[in-house]
Structure 1
Amino acid sequence: MLQGALFQMDGEIPWEDLGNGIKRQCYGYGENVMLVKVKFEAGAVGQLHEHYHTQVTYVESGIFEMTIGKEKKIIKKGDGYYVPPHEIHGCVCLEPGMLIDVFSPYREDFLPTSSI
Structure 2
Amino acid sequence: MTEEDSAGQVPDVVTVRGADVKGREAFENLNRRVLAHNDKLMLVEHVMEKDSVFPLHSHPHEQLAYLLSGHIRVRAGDEEFEAVAGDSFVVRGDVEHQVHALERSVALDIFTPYREDYVEWRDSSS
TM-score normalised to structure 2 length: 0.84
**Is there any run of 5+ residues in structure 1 with no aligned partner, and where?**
none
Runs of 4+ in 1 over 2 A off after TM superposition: 112-115
Which residue number corresponds to residue 45 of structure 1? 53
RMSD: 1.8
Q: TM-score, normalised by structure 1?
A: 0.91
Find 1:75's aligned residue among 72, 75, 83.
83
Superposed CA offset, 1:60-91 (max 9, x none): 11100011111111100000110111001111
- For residues 65-104 of structure 1, the aligned pairs below 5 Å read 65-104=73-112
* Larger proportion of strand: 1
Give the unaligned 5+ runs of structure 2: 4-12
Q: Residues 88 and 19 (structure 1 numbering): CA distance in 2 closer, same or farther, change over 3 Å?
A: closer
**Aligned pairs, number:** 114
Letter in 1 for 2:23: W
**Distance in 2, Cα, partners of 1:6 & 1:31:** 11
Return the offset for 1:6: 1.9
1:1-116 to structure 2, matched below 5 A, reads 3=2, 6-112=14-120
Quick one: percent identity of the two aligned structures? 25
Q: CA deviation at 1:3?
A: 1.6
Give the number of the structure whose alpha-carbon radius of gyration is greater. Answer: 2
Gap change, CA 1:113 and 1:56, over 3 Å in 2: closer
Q: 1:83 to 1:14 in 2, by over 3 A?
A: same
